[in-house]
Amino acid sequence: MRRNPERRQALIDAAIEVLAREGARGLTFRAVDAEAAVPPGTASNYFANRDDLFTQVGGRIYERLLPDEATIARGREGVQDEARYAELMHELVDRVSAFNSGYLALLELRLESTRRPELRAVLTKRIREDIDANIGYHAASGLPGDSTSVVLLYLALNWLIVERLTLPDIFTEQEVHELVDAAVRRSLASDGVTGG
Amino acid sequence: MRRNPERRQALIDAAIEVLAREGARGLTFRAVDAEAAVPPGTASNYFANRDDLFTQVGGRIYERLLPDEATIARGREGVQDEARYAELMHELVDRVSAFNSGYLALLELRLESTRRPELRAVLTKRIREDIDANIGYHAASGLPGDSTSVVLLYLALNWLIVERLTLPDIFTEQEVHELVDAAVRRSLASDGVTGG
DNA sequence: TTGACACCACTCCATCCGTAGTACTACGTT
DNA sequence: AACGTAGTACTACGGATGGAGTGGTGTCAA
């Protein structure tokens, strides 16, 4: 079990690409070695076994999907109106869609987590934290909409990205854009309908 | 290429279970044979190659996820108010979640369609038809909400099912129930916000 | 008798894990 | 400056699995 952190990270990032391209079952030590352009056997030295590899990828993938710190900072400060909010959501969808392999890899990990309790635990923790953080940001912004609104927006945007990445001909780019707008608009306009 | 239709269907249904349990890469002729409890080599006689197997499963999976005809008939006639609509959506989410392996298999197929143009074409066609049908049903019901509302509801419910199936500890059953209610409520209450 | 299908057997091939063993580099010691 | 040591990069192989495709045999019905 080698300890060179740069090399380990490079291997994990290579694993993300392999996951997206070959699927969960295609994620082997050999494939990671090839993707990272290191000699065969290297990944074997850095991860105890495939389970360990999955778990470590699960721990890292979410960092790579999150926006960089500058964007987070802008988000925290600048969200005062609906237009700005919508703009941020478009950025989110575009950024995640752009890091194509990252999102596909996350989907593969989700499906794989069905069979790997350790991986499931890691993913559950990360994603729960992300949702709560989003609820927190929204609450701090003072914009209308409760936590349910935020979660519903999260749900819709996630599946929208799934559609876009897996079956790009279902919705046109134009439709995707309009759907993001509509989702944001409804999320912020939902104060009056929270009564059951 | 054998032509016994019952046997073919049994093999395809077995393939769905294999897909959900083992993932796309685990869908092999041998695994299908084992799952269907037929002698090894049988699947090989019914499908030209793995690609053909994927495509045929893609053509069938959606039928199995759709409600039976009785439910569809009830849906067409009986949706006059929000309560009934919400009830139907709960039924939908529960039914799809209950046919656990079917939905997971569909997710696997979506990811696999990234690498298989034929499969992608089949899935795109089926799913586009389903979305359009839902929009049509909604329009015929006379309830408030335009096609965008329907699609946004579709998006949110799909990801909700993904969360429920892949990471069941993210939301409690109670939260899932409330989110379905809220999604329906907002979808039907969105007449006033369609202006951009 | 003929044709279609179920079933079985066999060959060839590709891939992978785990690890043992070698080579290189850096650094500290004397 | 020579030497030793430790950690890491790299190579090679043992051992084993799993699967695709195909040809051949048995069986049943028209």
| Cβ-nearest to A193 among B123, B128, B185 | B185
Residue B87, Cβ neighbours under 10 Å: how many? 14
Distance B193 CA to C6 C1' (A): 62
Contact between residue A148 and residue B175 where contact means Cβ atoms under 8 Å apart: no
CB contact under 8 A, A185 and B196: yes
ipTM: 0.93
Chains A & B: contacts with CB separation below 8 Å: 129
> What end-to-end distance do the CA atoms of chain B give, in Å?
55
Determine the Cα–Cα distance for residues B2 and B9; give it in Å rounded to an integer.
12
For residue A150, CA distances in Å to A65, A92, A153, B192 come to 19, 14, 5, 20
Determine the Cα–Cα distance for residues B135 and A156; give it in Å rounded to an integer.
17
Nucleotide nearest to A1 (CA to C1'): D8
A158 touches chain B (CB under 8 A): yes
pLDDT score, position A196? 38
pLDDT digits (tens, 9 = 90+) for A66-122: 877 777 777 777 677 889 889 999 999 999 999 999 999 999 999 999 999 999 999
pLDDT digits (tens, 9 = 90+) for B1-57: 898 999 999 999 999 999 999 999 999 999 999 999 999 999 999 999 999 999 999
- pLDDT greater at residue A194 or residue B79: B79
| Cβ-nearest to A104 among B111, B193, B194 | B111
Query: SS3 for B115?
Result: coil
- Angle subtended by helix axes B173-188 and A147-166, to nearest 10: 80
Q: Which two tokens stand for residue B83?
A: 């309560």
Interface of B with A in 17-46 (CB under 8 A): 21-26
Residue A112: list chain B partners with CB under 8 A: 23
For residue B31, CA distances in Å to B24, B37, B60 come to 11, 10, 18
